[in-house]
Each structure stands twice: as structure tokens, then as C-alpha cells.
Amino acid sequence: METAKLELNGETYELPITVGSEGEIGIDIRALRGQTGAITLDSGYGNTGSCTSSITFINGEKGILRYRGYSIEDLAATSSFPEVSYLLIYGRLPTQVELDEFNHKLTYHSLIHEDIKHFFEGYPQKAPPMSVLSTIVASLTAYYPVPDDLAGQEKNIIRLMSKLKTIAAFAYKKSIGQPFMYPRNDLGFAGDFLHMMNAVPTEAYEVPPLFEKTLDLLLILHADHEQNCSTSTVRMVGSSNANLFASISAGIHALSGPLHGGANVAVIDMLERIRADGGNLQKYIGMAKDKNSGFRLMGFGHRVYKNFDPRANVIKTVSDRVLNEMGIDDPLLDIAKELERIALEDDYFVERKLFPNVDFYSGILYRAMGIPTDMFTVMFAIGRLPGWIAQWLEMRNDPKKRIYRPRQIYVGEGLRALPPIEER
């Protein structure tokens, strides 16, 4: 198969085909408008490949997710989040020496400029943490020089990777009125974040190793997911040669939407609603099956994964053990487990291949670790950062890169005379 044929107004056009390394087929329409005068129309981009990429492979039918060719299951079982971040950003697994050096850099760049702390004072206490995160990331441009050449970006990549968790934890501390806890250089990535979130100056705090390991796993599972809404945003903003901080700030905004990164919050809201309503699970299963109710089981189903979500499978295999070890006694967890059991035995969900997605379990684990619900999407952003950076770099390093500039089919008024104001 070398070309696709398109018939339009009695003419036949040959369109080249690009085949990906996993056999995915793309009809190359780059010359379409020049040849035919027509464009393609694909609102929501469900059938549009915006780029070729060698970072992440997903096969939704088979439940496959791989970063740089390595399966998410293998990475989750043996890697750490910094190692996965290195893999995504630099395109290969680090040696031990490279990983040690990377961890060292992530540690020693985690302080934010003291002046940036004043930003937090200006926000109201209840400011949404995603909004604080994205605006402070955008402001980093004012503090750290943005070099013209891509090679000079290395330092800003490290800065962003190591400072995002500090900014996130400071935003949380501000929201609960507690003093900021500075990063600690003797802790690993996930451990340091948990320390900045949970420690207070008046008491000794030891990061529970199980929490640290669980958070590291959750970050790995969120590290990249190819051309989703926020990643496409990062690429689109960066395609104008906007700098890394500006591009990632835009991606954080995109992630904040409830249709994207906010679903893990919706799961907990739903479980709380069921609990407040007396815990009648059959009522809510019935509502989810009733198209007129406007209610869906949040954390069930997925646009891409139609058999299972491999990330959810990984979490599920560890979550029972982790929750037992944590000794968690949370009524919402019981409701979640029972809801899952009933739904997975119900024909409606079985026939439609609706199963728990990553958000169903991640919210439960974040909650078990004491991370408040309004920080869940922030956790997603910290996990997704290496993916955004890798995608931004791939786009910027592409010698054929062009500014992202989709077209449209105009359906508004034709040319008309401008009436004087008294005749309108």
C-alpha cells in the first residue's frame, strides 16, 4: 500500500501513505489543499495525526501503552519516576551514572527564587491550585533566561522538572494557611514532594516509604499519553517558538479542565455524593444505565482504551495491597470497591466494555495518602511534565516543524453591506 486515492469533483488524486513502526496508517494530506482546493474537516481531531512521534505508543483496542518502546507494566514494576522522565526526555534509558547525575540535578534545582514566594501572598487562600501552578510556571520566564538555541534549554528543563513540585506544594501550603516547607536534598523526587506537602516546622516528619513508592508509581503511570489535549496544547503553543515555560503553562491550563485532568476529582465527588445519599449503590448503577438521568459512573470507560486501561490494571494490582498496608479505613474506599464489583458483573457495563479507568483508582490512592481532592489534578500535572517536555523538544527539534495553524470551513454570513447604526 503506497497511496490512497481520493475522488473529488470527478478527479482522482493520489495521497501518500505514512506507515508507523507499529503498522499504523496515516494518509498524508499535506498537499491536499494545494492539489484540490479542499481541506479535511475533523472537529475534535479524532482522526487527525498532528505529527509523527517516537515517544509514546498506544493501542487502545489491545490495551497497550509504551514509552519509547518499553511497556508501562515493565516500567511500573522496575523503574522510578526520574528514570522514566529521563527516558522520555532524552529518548533512552540512563546508565546508573547518568541516572545518579540526573537525580542530583533534580534535587539541587528544586528551590524556587525567594522573590517567587511573594506571588503566593497575592493569591486568595482558596485559589484553585492548578491556576496558581500554571501562572507561576509562566512567570519562571522572568527569572530564568530563555536561551535562543535549543541546546541552552537543558537547564530550563531541569529547572522545570525540579521546581514544579515545589511550586505545587507551596500552593497547597498557602491554601491551608501553613508555612512553606522547603525542599530537602536528602530525599528522592516523590519523597521530597510528600515532605513539602505534609511536614510542618514544629514537628519531625518522616515520609512513609510506602507513600513515596506509591506516589512514584502514580507519577510513572501519568508520565505521557501521546497527543492528548494538554500535550497538543504544549506542542501548539511551542510551535510558535514560544519558550518552554510558556508552553508548559498553557498545557497545565488545558489539563485543568474536568474533561481532561479533572476526572480523578469527579470520581471522589461521585463517591462522596453516593455516601451522603445513604450509600445506595444500586440506585446509582441504575442512574448510570438510564440515559435520561444525565449521570455516568465517573472513572468508568475510556475514549481510547476499549478493552482495558493498562494504567488502571497496574494500579489495581497494587492498590489492594497498598491500601491494606496503609491500614486505610475510609468509607469511600469501601463504596468504590463495591461499586466496581457490581458494575463489572452488570450486563450494561460488560456489553459496552466499560471498566474502571486510571482515574477511578488514582483518586482513591491519592486520598489514601492524605492528598486533598483539589490537588489531584496538580498531581497529574507533575506526573505529565516529562511527557510534555519530551513532546515539546521533539516538536522543536523537527527540521520540518511548522507553526500549528489549522484551517476551518467558514459557515457564517456572506459579504453584506454595513448598515448605518440607526437602521440596525
Q: Which residues are catalytic?
A: 302, 359
HSE at residue 262, side-chain half, CA atoms within 13 A, is 15
> Applying CB under 6 A, does 256 fall inside the site for ligand ACO?
no
Closer of 275 and 303 to ligand ACO (Cβ):
303
Task: Return d(Cα 219, Cα 81) in angstroms, integer.
Answer: 6
d(C-alpha 196, C-alpha 181), whole Å: 5
102, amino acid identity: F
CB of 25 to ligand ACO, least distance (A): 21
User: What is the smallest separation between the CB atom of 340 and ligand ACO, expressed in angstroms?
Assistant: 12
| Residue in 184, 213, 296, 396 binding ligand ACO, rule: CB under 6 A | 296
Question: Applying CB under 6 A, does 87 fall inside the site for ligand ACO?
Answer: no
105 contributes a contact to ligand ACO by CB under 6 A: no
CB of 289 or CB of 396, closer to ligand ACO? 289
User: What SS3 class is residue 243?
Assistant: coil
Among 128, 81, 199, 210, smallest CA distance to 375 is for 128
Quick one: cell of 40? 479535511
Q: Which is nearer to ligand ACO, 15 or 304 (by Cβ)?
A: 304
Q: Contact at 8 Å (CB) between 365 and 218?
A: yes
The DSSP secondary structure of 373-409, one letter per residue, reads: GGGHHHHHHHHHHHHHHHHHHHHHH-TT---------
SS3 label, residue 275: helix
Our finding on whether 358 is near ligand ACO (CB under 6 A) is yes
Contact between residue 175 and residue 125 where contact means Cβ atoms under 8 Å apart: yes
- Residue with smaller CB distance to ligand ACO, 157 or 215: 215
Number of residues in the chain: 424
Q: How far apart, in whole angstroms, are the C-alpha atoms of residue 421 and residue 418?
A: 9
Amino acid, res. 218:
L
Kindly tell me which of 294 and 327 has the beta carbon lying closer to ligand ACO: 294
Residues 265-294: x/- map of binding to ligand ACO (CB under 6 A)?
-----------------------x------
Instruction: Confirm if 6 and 13 have CB atoms less than 8 A apart.
Output: yes
Q: Which stretch binds ligand ACO (CB under 6 A): 49-57, 145-153, 168-176, 301-309?
A: 301-309
Is residue 299 close enough to count as binding ligand ACO by CB under 6 A? yes
Three-state DSSP at 32 gives helix
Applying CB under 6 A, the span of 3-11, 127-135, 349-357, 410-418 interacting with ligand ACO comes to 349-357
Cβ of residue 79: shortest distance to ligand ACO, in angstroms? 20
Nearer to ligand ACO, 134 or 357 (CB): 357
Shortest approach of ligand ACO to residue 392 CB, angstroms?
A: 20
Residues 6+ apart with CB under 8 A from 361: 299, 312, 315, 316, 319
Q: Which of 67, 119, 245, 300: binder of ligand ACO (CB under 6 A)? A: 300
Nearest to 261 by CA among 297, 301, 230, 234: 230
Piece in contact with ligand ACO (CB under 6 A), picked from 68-76, 114-122, 186-194, 356-364: 356-364
CA distances to 190, 312, 380 from 211, rounded to whole Å, are 9, 18, 16
Q: Which of residues 303-322 bind ligand ACO (CB under 6 A)?
A: 303
Question: 120: which 3 cell numbers?
Answer: 503566593
Q: Which of 188, 191, 238, 301 binds ligand ACO (CB under 6 A)?
A: 301
3-state secondary structure 288-356: HHCCCCCCCCCCECCCCCCCCCHHHHHHHHHHHHHHHHHCCCCHHHHHHHHHHHHHHCCHHHHHCCCCE
| CB nearer to ligand ACO: pick between 87 and 358 | 358
At residue 155's C-alpha, the angle toward residues 152 and 160, to 5°, is 125
Residue among 16, 352, 370, 398 that touches ligand ACO (CB under 6 A):
352
354 belongs to the binding site for ligand ACO (CB under 6 A): yes
Q: Does 302 bind ligand ACO (CB under 6 A)?
A: yes
Nearer to ligand ACO, 244 or 314 (CB): 314
Task: Report the DSSP beta bridge partners of residue 70.
Answer: 67
Q: Is 359 in the site for ligand ACO (CB under 6 A)?
A: yes
Shortest spacing between CB 235 and ligand ACO, in angstroms: 18
| Binders of ligand ACO in range 180-209 (CB under 6 A) | none
Least distance to ligand ACO, CB of residue 221, Å: 10
- Smallest distance from ligand ACO to CB 386, Å: 17
165 and 110 Cβ atoms separated by less than 8 Å: yes
Q: Residue 211 interacts with ligand ACO (CB under 6 A)?
A: no
Cβ-closest position to ligand ACO: 301
Q: Residues interacting with ligand ACO, by CB under 6 A?
A: 263, 288, 296-303, 352, 354, 357-359
